[in-house]
């Protein structure tokens, strides 16, 4: 099992550009999450999907959109990237809402 995979691993964007971060899990988990981590800080929840077909905002959703494409995949889209969105983005999944979360390796995004 690959667990949680994220693509790309690194990305550099110019202000105003758009992109989609991809996340997939092969553990048949119901819940999936997107976090961002800024230097020296803990993770902050952007969006989550408690189950297939549902998505909800987390702590810092502004500037982002998500799509739960199917049970395996949960993508994060930046429509118009801003320098404040420079961060490391982590995707996670869990079997159920209260279960332990498994994290992907992260995507390091720089917005110039």
Partner 1 sequence: DAKTTQPTSMDCAEGRAANLPCNHSTISGNEYVYWYRQIHSQGPQYIIHGLKNNETNEMASLIITEDRKSSTLILPHATLRDTAVYYCIVRVGGGATNKLIFGTGTLLAVQP
Q: How far is the CB of 97 from partner 1 (least distance, A)?
A: 7
Determine if 4 is a binding residue for partner 1 (CB under 8 A). Answer: yes
Closest CA to 63 of 86, 41, 88: 86
Asked if 48 contacts 90 with a C-beta cutoff of 8 angstroms, the reply is no
Strand order in the sheet with 64-68: 4-7, 19-25, 74-78, 64-68
Closest CA to 92 of 71, 80, 106: 106
Determine if 2 is a binding residue for partner 1 (CB under 8 A). Answer: no
Which x/- pattern, by CB under 8 A, does the window 85-104 give for partner 1? -----x-x----xx-xxxxx
Q: Of 18-77, which residues contact partner 1 (CB under 8 A)?
A: 35, 40-45, 48, 50, 56, 58-59
The contact set with partner 1 (CB under 8 A) reads 4, 35, 40-45, 48, 50, 56, 58-59, 90, 92, 97-98, 100-106
């Amino acid at each position: 099992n690959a667990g949680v995979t994220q693509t790309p691993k690194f990305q550099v964007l110019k202000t105003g550009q758009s992109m989609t971060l991809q996340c997939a899990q092969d553990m048949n988990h119901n819940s999936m999450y997107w976090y961002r981590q800024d230097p020296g800080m803990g993770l902050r929840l952007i969006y989550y999907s408690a189950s297939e077909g549902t998505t909800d905002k987390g702590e810092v959703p502004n500037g982002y959109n998500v799509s739960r494409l199917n049970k395996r995949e949960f993508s994060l889209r930046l429509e118009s990237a801003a320098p404040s969105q420079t961060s490391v983005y982590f995707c996670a999944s869990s079997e159920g809402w209260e279960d332990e979360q498994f994290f992907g390796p992260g995507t390091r995004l720089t917005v110039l």
